Structure 1
Amino acid sequence: MRRLVVTSILLSMMLMMSHFALAHTEGHLATLTPPNGGQLRASGPFHLELVAKDGELTLYITDHGDNPIPTNGGQGKANIQVGKEGKKQSVVLEPVYANIMKAKGDFKITPETTVAVFLAIPGYETQGANFMPLASNGEGGEHHHHHHHDDDTADKEREHTH
Structure 2
Amino acid sequence: MKTISTLFAVLMLSLGGAAVAHDDAMLDAMKTANGGQLRAAGIHHYELVVAKPGTKGDALPVVVYVTDHAGTKVPTQGATGTVTLLAGGQKSTVQLQPAGENVLKGSGVYMPQAGLKAIVSVSLNGQPAAQARFEPFAAVGGHNH
The count of residues paired between Structure 1 and Structure 2 equals: 138
1:76 to 81, 85, 92: 81
* 1:26-45: CA deviation from partner (whole Å, max 9, x where unpaired): 11111111121011111211
Match of 2:124 among 96, 115, 121: 121
2:91–2:110 CA contact under 8 A, matched in 1: no
1:56 aligns with 2:56: no
* Shift in alpha-carbon separation, 1:22–1:118, aligned structure 2, 3 A: same
Equivalent residue number for residue 110 of structure 2: 107
| Local SS of the residue matching 1:15 | helix
* TM-score, structure 1 as length reference: 0.77
Q: 1:75 to 1:9 in 2, by over 3 A?
A: same
Task: Decide whether aligned partners of structure 1 residues 7 and 123 sit closer, same or farther in structure 2, where only a CA change above 3 A counts.
Answer: farther
CA distance, structure 2, for counterparts of residue 21 and residue 125 of structure 1: 22
Q: Percent identity?
A: 31
Could you tell which deviates more after superposition, 116-125 or 16-25? 116-125
> Unaligned regions of 5+ residues in structure 1, if any?
146-162
Runs of 4+ more than 4 Å apart? none
Aligned position for 1:157? none
| Cα deviation, residue 107, structure 1 | 2.5
Instruction: Tell whether 2:21 aligns with 1:23.
Output: yes
